[in-house]
Structure formats: C-alpha cells, structure tokens
Amino acid sequence: MSTLCVPSQVPSVAEDCEQLHKAFSGWGTNEDLIISILGHRNVAQRKLIRQVYGETYGQDLLKALDRELTNDFERIVLLWTLDPPERDAYLANEATKRWTSSNQVLVEIACTRSPKELLLARDAYHARFKRSLEEDVAYHTSGDFRKLLVPLVSSYRYGGDDVNLTFAKSEAKLLHEKISEKDYSCDDIIRILATRSKAQINATLNQYKNEFGNDINKDLKADPKDEFLAILRATVKCLVNPEKYFEKVIRLSINRRGTDEGALTRVVATRAEVDMKIIKDEYQRRNSVPLDRAIAKDTTGDYEKMLLTLIGHGET
C-alpha cells in the first residue's frame, strides 16, 4: 500500500551517491536530480545511500542536504531521508519541545505505529537525545494530557490478533459509563486506550457501537472545543482507523487559508512507504478530488514535485 515508485533497474549505491554529490556541486543545486534519486528509493536503499555517502565524501548526507536545500523542500527531503525510527524520534522530540494541547503528533506516533516500530523510535530517541521519550513527554506536558500521553508513548502493546470478548463487553460498558459521567480523563479510559492491544480495542469499540448505538468518537464530541476530548478522539482514530486519521490531517492541512505545510510534509514523509495508497483513496472518497490534484493546487516548485513523487503521481 506504499505509493513509492522504485525503478526496476536501480543504479548502484555508488552511482547514486556520485549523482547526489554532483547535484550539490557547482553553481546552484540540482533539485530535480535529488528528487529523481531520493524520491525513488526505498527505506533500505536510502539507508545504504546515506551510509556510503558518508564513507565516500566524509560528510553526513543529511548535513549536505541541510546546507543545500531550504524551507519546505528541505524539510520533506530531510524527513524522507531519515530512517523511520530516527524520523519518529526527531518528530516526537520536536513535538515535546513545542508542545501545546492541540498538538497531536505524539498521539499519532504512539498510536499509528506498530508496537515494534514505536519501540524502535524510543531506541532511536535514546541514541539521539540521551534521554527517553517518555521522560521528555512527562517533563513537557501536564495534567490530563500528561496522564494520557505518557502511557501512550510508553506502551508496548501486545501485537497479535487474540481478543478477549468478555473484556471487550465489560470494557465497552465501562467506557460508556465513564463517558456518560463526562469523566473523560479517568483511570479506566486511559488504561484501556493506553494498554490494550489494537485488536482488543477494536473489539471493545465494536461492542460499544453494538450496545450503545454510537461510535465512541461521536460520544466523545460533547464539547467540540474541548482539546482533551479532541486528543482522545485522535487517539481512538489513530488506533483503529489510522488511514482516516491521516486523511483528515491532510484535508485540514490543505483546506485552510494558507496550507499547513508542516502537517502535510509529515504525513507524506511518514506514510508514503506505509499506507499512502489507502490514504489517497480515502481522500478522494471524502473530498471528491484526487489528492495529487489538491496538492498540486496548493503547493509549488520543488516542494510540490517531491510531494507528488512520493504519493506516486503519474504512476500506474
């Protein structure tokens, strides 16, 4: 379900590195050449390119890109080139430092990645920041948000499909009780969302709908302006319906006065190789416009080219 297009004949890593080095040399930078290489290599290939580039030219490829590129184009190329766990660590660190109660990036990273991927991101966080992710989240957040976010980023959920239907029933009831009492930040809601496996949560929320008639997220919308409720809804969506969550992030990033490039860049860079095909379908269904057309309308230049490349524009 990746939208990345890797040519059937990929040049050798040494050639790729040489071409990239050429793209940085002389007057100006050859952005098209950079896109044509990095925009068409998968995660293992990019990792190898970065390694061989460093060995050949004595400089980290990311440093070179950072020096040559600017603005949104720079950001998407850098994020894309980073290894996924490092990228998540970087995004999570940025989110903790600039944290506000409307920032949902931590929820996104904690809940849309697989348990193993989240763990690798926590490993990368140790290596890069010499602290743990949960340590920084706990330090920079407070109150109910901290109560939810720390267990979410610390979770190492069971990743299998085994589901306990007795728990699903009893916990659907428990969730409904607590939501009816508007006790949204209670221990039980947080415990269930932060520790149960995704399969188990899905079963519980299906029970919820069967038993009480509404999607839980509908019941979590009592006050549309309440930011804690918003983050709870994001948590639920990221856990059981990540593609819909990402479609909405893209939709909101485009459908506003001035594009939110930060969000658009993040979603494209992190999902292109994962589930961007489904997100694109979801986008078209919800907006009646293909995602590539919406992006082309809202962005320009090399940034636009890189986004379209990563979402597989013009490929069949």
Query: Is 298 known to sit in a ligand binding site?
Result: yes
**Contacts of 253 by beta carbon, 8 Å cutoff, 6+ apart:** 259, 260, 261, 262, 263, 264, 267
Query: Taking the complex as a whole, how short is the minimal distance between the CB of residue 233 and a copy of itself, in angstroms?
Result: 21
* From 46-54, 84-92, 143-151, 276-284, span contacting a copy of itself (CB under 8 A): 143-151
Query: Taking the complex as a whole, how short is the minimal distance between the CB of residue 227 and a copy of itself, in angstroms?
Result: 19
Q: Which residue of 14, 158, 165, 252 would you call a contact of a copy of itself, by CB under 8 A?
A: 158
Question: 229, 223 in Cβ contact below 8 A?
Answer: yes
Question: 75, 83 in Cβ contact below 8 A?
Answer: no
- Site residues (CB under 8 A) for a copy of itself, limited to 176-215: 187, 191, 194-197
Question: 153, 110 in Cβ contact below 8 A?
Answer: yes
CA–CA dist 172, 204 (Å, integer):
5
109: nearest Cα among 75, 143, 134: 134
Query: Taking the complex as a whole, how short is the minimal distance between the CB of residue 170 and a copy of itself, in angstroms?
Result: 11
Q: How many CB atoms lie within 10 A of CB 46?
A: 19
Query: Is 89 known to sit in a ligand binding site?
Result: no
- 291-314 burial code (b ≥16 CB/10 A, e <16): bbebbeebbeebbbbbbbbbbbbe
Rg (CA), the chain: 21
Per-position x/- string for 98-137, each x denoting binding to a copy of itself as judged by CB under 8 A, each - no binding: ---------------------x--x---x---xxxxxx--
Residue 146 binding a copy of itself, by CB under 8 A: yes
Q: Which residue of 139, 209, 211, 262 would you call a contact of a copy of itself, by CB under 8 A?
A: 139
- In the chain, at which residue ranges do the beta strands (DSSP E only) sit? none
Query: Is 299 known to sit in a ligand binding site?
Result: yes
Looking at this protein, which amino acid is placed at residue 41? R
For the chain, how many residues are written? 316
Q: Which residue of 112, 154, 207, 265 would you call a contact of a copy of itself, by CB under 8 A?
A: 154
3-state SS string over 38-72? Answer: HCCCCHHHHHHHHHHHHHHHCCCHHHHHHHHCCHH
Query: Taking the complex as a whole, how short is the minimal distance between the CB of residue 208 and a copy of itself, in angstroms?
Result: 18
Q: Tokens 């494209």: give the residue.
A: 268
Query: Taking the complex as a whole, how short is the minimal distance between the CB of residue 273 and a copy of itself, in angstroms?
Result: 25
Residue 150 binding a copy of itself, by CB under 8 A: yes
Is residue 53 packed enough to be buried (19+ CB in 10 Å), middle (13-18) or exposed (0-12)? Answer: buried
Q: What residue spans of 130-241 are helical by DSSP H?
A: 133-140, 143-154, 165-180, 187-195, 198-212, 216-219, 227-240
Query: Taking the complex as a whole, how short is the minimal distance between the CB of residue 124 and a copy of itself, in angstroms?
Result: 12
Residue 313 binding a copy of itself, by CB under 8 A: no
Question: Total residues contacting a copy of itself (rule CB under 8 A)?
Answer: 30
Query: Is 254 known to sit in a ligand binding site?
Result: yes
- Site residues (CB under 8 A) for a copy of itself, limited to 40-69: none
Give the nearer residue to a copy of itself in terms of CB position, either 110 or 311: 110
Q: Tokens 């390694």: give the residue.
A: 51
Query: Taking the complex as a whole, how short is the minimal distance between the CB of residue 299 and a copy of itself, in angstroms?
Result: 37
Query: Is 304 known to sit in a ligand binding site?
Result: yes
Binding residues for a copy of itself, rule: CB under 8 A, are 119, 122, 126, 130-135, 138-139, 142, 146-147, 150-151, 154-160, 162, 187, 191, 194-197
Which residues are documented as binding site? 24, 26, 28, 68, 254, 256, 258, 296, 298-299, 304
Which residues are documented as binding site for Ca(2+)? 24, 26, 28, 68, 254, 256, 258, 296, 298-299, 304
